Structure 1
Amino acid sequence: MGYAARFEAALAGLELPGRVGIASWDLRENAPVLRGAEVEVHSASTIKVLVMITALRAVADGRSNLDELVPLPPERTRGTGVLFEMPSVPAISLRDLINLMIVVSDNAATNAVIDQVGFRAIAECTSDLGCTGTRIERHIMDTEAPGVLRTTALDQARVLAALAEGEALPPELAEHALAVLSRQQVVDRIPLLLPENARCWNKTGEIKGLRHDVALLSTDDTPQVVLAVLVDQLTDPVSNKGYRGGDGVEAIAAIGEAAWRAMVQPNTGFHGTEGA
């Protein structure tokens, strides 16, 4: 029995709230577990991984430099992050913007990186990584602008798998991206119930009534399992009041623990469906 069968069995015992999309597989087995994985939902901040990869591709091509200063507008996007509280800072390096965008999910940093690379480059990267249900067409929090921010659990898993397997970026920049993800400060979902020695590279997303987390998991420095969990249509008061806690957070933590247990159990044979 391989990872997929063990994870499926663990999921069968969970009661989950809202509408849940799950995509997960062991990168060595490539036998996916998919539940509602191609349902398009609001991406929230999970799209920041794609924005990071697009920016690092520009660095790889010589069109950008991690240490170049990127100008910041005087009026900045609210929401998560710190740049809104730092109006005296007129510019910041691309390196630091990427760090803020991922590690503390800074929305102003994200919009600055989007402006630096452009929506066309992000769309090209999205397509190149095999995403079929992901669209990044406007800035974060700019809800009155035309365009959408949409994604699927399967697309999110594809992006992280491509990063882990060296298909998204050259080795040095892939290592840089993984290092940034490993410093994630929002750890109340997939990583929450994992043991202290677990390795997790993750990015969360949240708006009212919605909680997401997408991650790579391993017992060492080499990612082994990819897991994307997107939960929307949450109705509990906490999920609809703010951006932390609630039924979706608890469900994602339980799914993360189930994935971890399925990953660390020894194989007893392998059965699964090829292709992800």
Structure 2
Amino acid sequence: MVGYAARFEAELAGLEFPGRVGIASWDLDEGVPVLRCPEVEVHSASTIKVLVMITALRAVAEGRLDLDRVVPLPASRTRGTGVLFEIPSVPAMSLRDLINLMIVVSDNAATNAVIDEVGFPAIAACTAGLGCTGTRVERHIMDTAAPGVLQTTALDQARVMAALARGEALPPEQTRHALAVLSRQQVVDRIPLRLPEDARCWNKTGEIKGLRHDVALLSADDTPRVVLAVLVDQLTDPVSTKGYRGGDGVHAIAAVGEAAWRAMSQPSTGSQGVGSAEDDRRPLPGVPWRSSESR
């Protein structure tokens, strides 16, 4: 059967990409991935905030944290994306609201506050438990002078989002909470940009100078159907190297999002295609089949 993977491969064949691009995507029911440089380790930027959210919600599910717990905020706050550094008169905020800000507007100060609530060892354990092999969260956001790295891979990002969609990352109540937060994402200039108005998209972007990422779940209804991670670094165009919005990487990711949507929306056919049951290639850990274009 020609499923999502074969159709997405065909859609990608007509696209050109700037910089270095990592892609990992599959239909959650079919489980046949399309992969491009899936295990290249790159700066994670804000995509790791999904892992931080999952770690916090696991602690909530286990009774170690409470979403209504009021978390004190430091007077000196991390700048970059978000709003908390602009409102120093707010001395504290609930964990629930910090998670919302961390995802919906990618607030860096909120992220660091949530990291401090859960701790780096818990984030590392969550990362490993979700099958990630190239992701490390070892310092606060924007704290470039501190030791440690923030890194990830396209395949790891897809693994995390797929585990969340399948209910493997969190219990049902916390899964619904996490997906609801992701659905309210306000940075929609990448994967969601060219999707139809009625499309469902749960996504989290990441950006630093010369780098643009987006990871998402896509569906035509309320049940996630396709996972898609697109990580782009080594960008050299003037817009991408100047700031955090726009540029060649953003346009490329939007094109990939549109390609994934078209592939998802087409009906399956009965002939054999990429990733069919006759494919005898060895799988990657946590992924049932490796596509013909993975490398």
TM-score (norm 1): 0.99
Correspondence for 1:190: 191
Superposition pairs of residues 78-117 of structure 1, within 5 angstroms: 78-117=79-118
Q: Output the CA distance in 1 between the equivalents of 2:34 and 2:70.
A: 42
Q: Extract unaligned runs of 5+ from structure 1.
A: none
Q: Deviations over 1:91-146 (max 9, x none)?
A: 10000000000000000000000000000000000000000000000000000000
Q: Output the CA distance in 2 between the equivalents of 1:157 and 1:174.
A: 16
Matched position secondary structure for 1:215: strand
Q: Deviations over 1:244-264 (max 9, x none)?
A: 000000000000000000000
Superposition pairs of residues 134-153 of structure 1, within 5 angstroms: 134-153=135-154
Residue 27 in 1 paired to residue 13 in 2? no
Correspondence for 1:238: 239
In the TM superposition, residue 234 of structure 1 has moved relative to its aligned partner by 0.3
Correspondence for 1:2: 3
Q: Output the CA distance in 2 between the equivalents of 1:154 and 1:101.
A: 22
Superposition pairs of residues 40-51 of structure 1, within 5 angstroms: 40-51=41-52
TM-score (norm 2): 0.92
Superposition pairs of residues 124-163 of structure 1, within 5 angstroms: 124-163=125-164
Name whichever of 132-141 and 81-90 sits farther off: 81-90
Q: Deviations over 1:37-86 (max 9, x none)?
A: 10000000000000000000000010000001011111000000010011
**Identity between Structure 1 and Structure 2 (%):** 84
Correspondence for 1:257: 258
Q: Output the CA distance in 1 between the equivalents of 2:171 and 2:64.
A: 15
Q: Output the CA distance in 2 between the equivalents of 1:89 and 1:58.
A: 25
Matched position secondary structure for 1:255: helix
Q: Deviations over 1:210-233 (max 9, x none)?
A: 000000000000000000000000
Q: Output the CA distance in 2 between the equivalents of 1:81 and 1:157.
A: 24
Matched position secondary structure for 2:115: helix
Q: Extract unaligned runs of 5+ from structure 2.
A: 288-295
Q: How many residues align?
A: 276
Correspondence for 1:123: 124
In the TM superposition, residue 22 of structure 1 has moved relative to its aligned partner by 0.1
In the TM superposition, residue 89 of structure 1 has moved relative to its aligned partner by 1.1
Q: Output the CA distance in 2 between the equivalents of 1:230 and 1:70.
A: 32
In the TM superposition, residue 185 of structure 1 has moved relative to its aligned partner by 0.2
Matched position secondary structure for 1:39: coil
Correspondence for 2:224: 223
Matched position secondary structure for 2:187: coil
Q: Output the CA distance in 2 between the equivalents of 1:53 and 1:71.
A: 21
Q: Output the CA distance in 2 between the equivalents of 1:173 and 1:151.
A: 24
Correspondence for 2:17: 16
- Structure 1 stretches of 4+ moved >2 Å: none
Q: Output the CA distance in 1 between the equivalents of 2:71 and 2:165.
A: 28
Q: Output the CA distance in 2 between the equivalents of 1:106 and 1:39.
A: 26
Matched position secondary structure for 2:96: helix
| Letter matched to residue 142 of structure 1 | D
Correspondence for 2:179: 178
Q: Output the CA distance in 2 between the equivalents of 1:134 and 1:230.
A: 13
| Letter matched to residue 22 of structure 1 | I
Correspondence for 1:53: 54
Correspondence for 1:64: 65
